[in-house]
Structure 1
Amino acid sequence: DDPWVDDVLTALTARGLRVERHDLTGDEDTTALTALLTTPDGEDPAGVLSLLALDERPHPDHPALPRGLAAVKDLTHALAGTGTRLWALTRGAVSVDSRDPLTSPVQAETWGFGRAVAFELPDTWGGLVDLPPTPDPRALDRLPGLLGGAEDQLAVRAAGSYARRLAR
């Protein structure tokens, strides 16, 4: 019921991507997730864009762990070995400069997880994309063209797309 999520899905559809929305409860096991996201006829998706990290509520069994991060972990395990690449979407989890405040340190944890998974499961992990906390049409328009590209850690803002770089 988040208008921000609806804006993201609309932007993806408008750019010609096929969007299948699966609202997960967080109780799915790895086998159920794999079955949900793969098909027996060989038409497996090229990629999955997860918005699970947006759920910042504490996990009921592990209160120090956000539900969204736990769900991204489960989804990563479910897609391992399927040939389908996973992208995790966050909002406000990274900052591109001093005028762009970090607004979601909880979702930033997904970035730490994603960086580690990129080394462990490079054939499964697609990357991380951070969008601004407030939906922005220019940022949303850039998103579909960036998924599956050469960069695997991106912050998309109204002013442009930012990839990770070392700076002096």
Structure 2
Amino acid sequence: MENQAVKIDIQEKERLLSSIRIMSLIGLGIGFVSVVVGVLVFVFLEGGKYPIISAVGIWYGLIQITFGMLGLLACQSTDEKKQGNLLSVHYVLSIFVMSMGYALAVAIQAVVACGNKDDSCGTNPDTQLALHIVILCVIVVGNFLGITSMVFHLRNRKILHPEWRNRKGCCC
């Protein structure tokens, strides 16, 4: 009885995959904005110093882009095993995205420092402040997206992750 395959409603799975597609597209958008703003921080630095310029926008954006691409690949896959693997990695990346406290801390530090016109913001502290506010907003939206994706995967695990049924772990 335990080894019987679980029947999955195809229409329900397509609806869930559509939601993952939307979350993945948002992640891609957030990632590209973050990378562009991260590059602009370096362009407008002119005399600034570490720790404000730590490339937080670039590496945070690359993780979001990976999150988005894997979600889209999972939604497009027709092979059940490959799709299951991609969805599992998408779930793990949603946890990773949600738990990136360092990126949030650096963004907050940069907003405070540039708001106080600190030397580490270079000769364009107002431009740096605006750019870091954008990165801070992107990270907050990204964290919300990571939490939403994680909860979504867990709530719909019977349909999205039927292979989790036989695992002996703390959460599944």
Give the number of the structure whose alpha-carbon radius of gyration is greater.
2
**What TM-score comes out, normalization by structure 2 length?**
0.25
Normalized per residue, which structure has more helix? 2
**Which of 1 and 2 has higher RCO (CA within 8 Å, sep 6+)?**
2
Per the normalisation by structure 1, the TM-score is 0.25
